[in-house]
Structure 1
Amino acid sequence: MALAVPAGSLTIPCAGHISLATNLAALEQLSPDWRELHAASAHAHGVFQSADWCLTWARIYAKPELGIEPCVVTGYEDGALVFVWPLMKVKKGPLTILRWLTDPLAQYGDVVVKAGADARPWCRRAMEFLRRLKGIDCLRLRHVRQDSAIYPFLKEQFTRAGEADEAPCLDLTPYPTEAEYDKRYSREQRKRRGKIRKSLESMGKVDFAMLPPGSLMDRAMEQAVDQKRNWLAERGLYSKPLQCPYLGPFLRELSRNGGGSVSLVTSCLTAGSRPISWEIGLRFGKTHFGFITAHDTSLTDASPARLHMDMSQRQAIKDGMRIFDLMIPGDPHKQSWSNARMTVHNFHAPLSLGGSLYGYGYLSLLRPIVRRFYYTAPTAIRTRFTRFFST
């Protein structure tokens, strides 16, 4: 379904209007213009608002039985697509919440807006439209970077929810070669990585490989997800996207989107014939995103993931990448792998009384308190509440 609202506000050009796409067929119809707009205007971190990412996700996840309905707001000027705000309706108890389309799988949230244009007028007009829709209680927008197109609007019009986080990354431009990259390590760091490799070589020759789409990549992705689940379970943690049974089909579908703007790449570290570490990454433009990293949890003390990260960043340099994004959360173990950070915020805006209770009472007040307790609690206690506070 596509709904149109004629322009009558000075907040957007006179020849502009807002529309809404609410099902997969409408998204498929929108996709050519969406791809063209995204390719011409999106920042690298907008990978999760690309048509290829969103359409692949919608084909797998946007099903009535999952309670997910696309709600993608679009803006047109003189008939050309100039604005896309990818959202979806989800149920939270008796409430209907608007969240980023593909959340919580998406790591960053933003809008796509014509290059050089200010997103705020389009966002304001889109909000006027959303407020007129029936049955929406609140907008909950997580993981908004301070350098995103939508951040100035949300900072002015929305309420922040919870504490800010950080998205660490490694700017690779100072390291055009592996030799230059190696210089960033201190003597002690190089010595430690040498010990890790020597320890792993006791199991056999250590090899790093980028896997082609197909059965080998599919198997590696399955192993990565299984081991990541094991790692989380050992710590009493829970990840809704990782536990979802649709994750495997989504990753397989995305890996086969050859020629799209988003590439899914998977690497595997082996010792002898044994796979010991994996990375499922995304690439958009000159940026590599470390999307899912995992290792054989029986080898945690041997630190295979540390050696794998080193090799993955070296491979990114060989492949012409300029940024290696480790994404949120800004955990301490990512510090040695990054040289820059971007602050990331969560926002909400109520559209009903119930939405106000959810936004101000739960997202702003209760949830931050409980999450602080949750992450400092012993594993046995944390396990009891992990699903409730995972997203």
Structure 2
Amino acid sequence: MTVAIRGRDRVAVASAGRSWAIPLARHGRHLELECLETLNELEALRDVWQGLETRCPEPFGYFQSFDWCLSWCRVFLAPEKTDVRARVYVLWDGADCVMIWPMMTRRISPAITLLVPLTAPMNQYSTLLYDPAHFDRDAGRAVLDEIRRDRGLDAVCLDHVPQSALLADILQGQGVSPEEGQQSSILDLSAITDWESHHRALPKKQRLQRNSRRNRLEKLGALDYRVYPAGSPEYADNIDRCIALKQAWLRDTGRLGRDVFDPRFAAFLRGLGTKANEGDDGVYLHVLTLDGSPIAMEIGMRFRDDYYCFLGAIDLAYQKHSPGKVQMESAQRWAIETGIRRFDFLNDPSAYKSSWTNATEPLTAFYVPLTSLGRLYCHHWMAGLRPHVRSIYHRFGAQIRARLLSAVGAVQRLLGRHGGSMVLVLCCIP
């Protein structure tokens, strides 16, 4: 994208009263920070955005990729939806894009507006894309300083920031963080050459357990395993089934999963990965069937030879036979055979993951207040009461959680989305 083309775009944008651009002087360089808000502006950034993806040296960047972010925007950023608005920050060094930080504003009450990652809470990591030759911590701090000057924001709230990411360095010492951190569980496949040797190297007890699960299912009927890429008829045809299985599990275990129940969620998943990607990058639907009927499914994303287990689901009628673990074993075999480097289970802190992984990535959260109301929200709710409420909630059994969520839903419907502080608290418990 040339400077001249960018200039014409900014004139049109300015006349529409949406985006803005300001100069930044850094060590003799004259940079320009742009904030893009409209879908058309973001679509026009495609080549620049995808080019920056290839130059960014960090892992964990899929949830800031063009495909993920724009697929979400096309479905969820309806013009009439005023409580969410894109704020994609783009830093230019002349004609070169050196940073993209996909964010959005979210009004969680009439009085509080947050800046959060674009697509939150669906995004599983919070990072930014950058060119390491032209962007560093100091430049990131300068960008953050400009964002702080936005009088329409009360706080910047980021969950699941990898501690190894440049963004964590930029935000170090900014705002507050919860006392307890999280971590992602990862199977590092970089030293594994083939499935057979990996399987033989497992502890004997694990091998026997995995073989026993598969044998029990095979006694019930014919097992088959398929992997369908996004854009294929089989992928599109099975999305609704996968979501329905996940919804049933969420209800049964008393977990929230608001996005999974959003009627737009299926359209979002169908739109992911349908554009041409480099190599084998893309979105895949894994399906384990018993006599032709799906009993375990998983939607995952391959990005720069990393694989992210985004959404898994099982048929509860077969829960005692552990179909999800049989599917997981098949998915890991597929990953090894197709050259994937890291198999990422993401940040859900489930105990079972320890036997399926060999590495972790520490994560942290940053809640940066910009106003007095934002300070109250960040210090006393996000980093204070909320983690304790969540911890207490997850100590309850599945049946108690299911009843509580049913009551929460009733209160939310009664009071409405902005029905006061009680709705805010109830929305944030899980």
Does TM-score exceed 0.5, indicating one fold? yes
Mean Cα deviation higher: 371-380 or 334-343:
371-380
3-state SS, counterpart of residue 173 of structure 1: coil
The residue number in structure 2 matching 1:131 is: 148
Give the 3 Å change call, closer, same or farther, for CA 389–134 of structure 1 in structure 2: closer
1:284 maps to 303
Question: Sequence identity of aligned pairs in percent?
Answer: 28
- The whole-number CA distance in structure 2 between the counterparts of 1:129 and 1:72 is 13
Give the total of aligned pairs.
389
Aligned to 1:234: 252
How much does 1:390 deviate?
5.5
Superimposed CA distance per residue, residues 137-192 of structure 1 (whole angstroms, 9 cap, x where no aligned partner): 11110110111120111123232135211101001122211112112322222212
Give the CA deviation at 1:42: 4.5
Instruction: Say whether the 8 Å CA contact 2:300–2:309 is kept in structure 1.
Output: yes
Counterpart in the other structure of 1:36: 51
Equivalent runs, 1:62-211 vs 2, <5 Å: 62-66=77-81, 67-93=83-109, 94-161=111-178, 163-211=180-228
Structure 1 residue 389, shift from structure 2 partner: 3.0
Name the SS for the 2:307 alignment partner: strand
Deviation larger for 81-90 or 154-163:
154-163
Q: What amino acid maps onto 2:160 in structure 1?
A: H
Of 15-24 and 153-162, deviating more is: 153-162
**Equivalent of 1:254, from 269, 272, 276?**
272
Q: How many Å apart are 1:13 and its aligned residue?
A: 5.1
Matched to 1:152, the amino acid is D
1:266 to 278, 285, 290: 285
2:359 is the alignment partner of 1:344: no
Q: Distance in 1 between matches of 2:271 and 2:179?
A: 34
Q: Where in structure 1 are there 5+ consecutive unaligned residues?
A: none
> Could you say if the C-alpha distance between residues 139 and 219 of structure 1 is closer, same or farther in structure 2, counting changes exceeding 3 Å?
same
Partner in structure 2 of residue 359 of structure 1: 378
Pick aligned residue for 1:333 from 352, 357, 361: 352
Change (3 A) 1:13 1:57: farther
Is the contact between residue 239 and residue 390 of structure 1 (CA under 8 Å) also seen in structure 2?
no
Report the Cα distance in structure 1 between the residues aligned to 2:116 and 2:103, rounded to whole angstroms: 5
Counterpart selection for 2:38 from 23, 36, 44:
23
1:13 and 1:244 map into 2 onto residues whose CA distance is: 48
Moved more, 63-72 or 131-140: 63-72
Please say which of residues 251-260 and 190-199 is displaced more in the overlay: 251-260
Q: Deviations over 1:107-153 (max 9, x none)?
A: 00101111345532222222222222231111110110111120111
Indicate if the aligned counterparts of 1:162 and 1:367 stay in contact, CA closer than 8 A: no
State the Cα distance separating 1:97 from its structure 2 match: 0.5
Q: Deviations over 1:226-279 (max 9, x none)?
A: 111111111111112212211100110114223268510111011112211111
Partner SS for 2:24: coil
| SS of 2:165 mapped into structure 1 | coil
Contact 2:55–2:130 under 8 Å retained in 1 = no
Q: Bigger shift: 351-360 or 118-127?
A: 118-127
2:318 maps to: 299
Query: Displacement of 1:380 after TM fit?
Result: 4.5
Q: Is the 8 A contact 2:86 2:105 kept in 1?
A: yes
Supply the distance in 2 between the matched residues of 1:333 and 1:379 (Cα, whole angstroms): 17
Asked if 1:311 corresponds to 2:330, the answer is: yes
Structure 1 residues 321-353: Cα deviation after superposition (integer angstroms, max 9, x where no partner): 111111112311111110000111111111111
3-state DSSP class of the match of 1:55? helix
- Equivalent position SS for 1:87: strand
Distance 1:44 1:221, change over 3 A: farther
1:179-233: CA deviation from partner (whole Å, max 9, x where unpaired): 1211232222221222211211122221111124333212322222211111111
* The one of 321, 326, 329 aligned to 2:340: 321
Counterparts of residues 204-219 of structure 1 (less than 5 Å):
204-212=221-229, 213-219=231-237
Q: Distance in 1 between matches of 2:148 and 2:294?
A: 51
For the residue of structure 1 that corresponds to 2:201, the secondary structure is coil
Letter in 1 for 2:56: S
- Per-residue deviation, 1:72: 0.9
RMSD: 1.8
Give the match's secondary structure for 2:254. Answer: coil
TM-score (norm 2): 0.86
| 1:73–1:87 contact (8 Å) kept in structure 2 | yes
Q: Contact between 1:19 and 1:74, CA under 8 Å: does it hold in 2?
A: yes
